[in-house]
Amino acid sequence: ERAPFPDPEADPIGHLAVVHSHPRWLVERWVARYGRDEGARLLEADNAEPSVTVRPNLLRATTEEILAALREEGLSPEPGPNGGPVFVLRGGFVAGRSRLFREGLLSLQDEAESMVVRILDPKPGESVLDLCAAPGGKSAQIAEAVSPGGRVFALERHLSRARALRQNMIGRLRLSLVHVTCADGARPPFRGPFDRVLVDAPCSGLGVLGRRADARWRKEVATIGAMAALQRPLIASAAGLIRSGGTLVYSVCSLEPEETTGVVEPFLREHSQFTMDDANRYLPPAFRSGEAAFRAAPHRHGTDGVYAARLIRR
């Protein structure tokens, strides 16, 4: 016997929370922001099986060579549905069992996450800082873009994660131009200036609940404010490390206002030397919007929930 669901008319929030297995406080937030129908689609998207997407390491082989090797492994790679530089692998791909992954020819990366480095737009020969780098997917993507002649400084606060990051960059991917440093991004041991800085800040992770189903029950509303309090000093510390005319990209895998516009808008008010740039010109059409910042949502794009703002130092 199944217990009855809450009545959808008498208690619409409770009904959605039980039917889609999300905490009530989160359902209330999303329905208030998106409306009942779109909020329900987002909740439903969190419960769908996430796609496995990989990005080729183009410093090691061409896209065509890597796709051919994937087919030899019995896989049928498909282009990312939104035009990103990734390929969807269906049929139970396990990275650790793949020779291509073990040998550093592939990185696991969500399609929306790959757009963050597109928005940063690093160029060959540039010096780039990834302020919150682990596990390293974006650092690797930056390294491919600045080669030859460029340098990537990848900062990670936790020693164990910094060691894993170094092993991923140097050992598996063979990206010798990535320099890993264990330090706090809010107090970076650099004076710069860098051509570009990426602040892929730690966040509530509410945009990736489809990949971390248990996380929805370990978060609470206070988590959002606590993470915003960490994000603000990170973007402020990055501001002093960028050359005149350089680029700062702030990104999170969350769409909550406190962690997105609630961080960027006060930063711009307090740092008049920075201005918002339009991210849309760096995006394929499926990801473009009427907003200058980038937003991808699970129910709209079939990706992680990601926000990124591109800021230019005058």
Q: Which residues are catalytic?
A: 253
Q: How far is residue 146's CA from residue 149's CA, in Å, rounded to a whole number?
A: 7
Residue 296 has a CB neighbour count (10 Å cut-off) of: 28
Q: Are strands 242-252 and 194-200 parallel, antiparallel or unpaired?
A: parallel
Q: How far is residue 137's CA from residue 141's CA, in Å, rounded to a whole number?
A: 6
Assess contact for 79 and 124: CB atoms under 8 A. no
Q: How far is residue 152's CA from residue 171's CA, in Å, rounded to a whole number?
A: 16
Q: What DSSP designation does 2 have? A: P
User: For tokens 């920075």, what's the residue?
Assistant: 274
Tokens of 176: 């010798």
User: For tokens 């990949």, what's the residue?
Assistant: 211
Q: Are strands 151-156 and 274-277 parallel, antiparallel or unpaired?
A: unpaired
Tokens of 294: 């980038």
Tokens of 209: 């609940």
Q: What is the total residue count of the chain?
A: 314
3-state percent breakdown (helix, strand, coil) of the chain, nearest 5: 40, 20, 40
Tokens of 286: 């499926």
Assess contact for 283 and 118: CB atoms under 8 A. yes
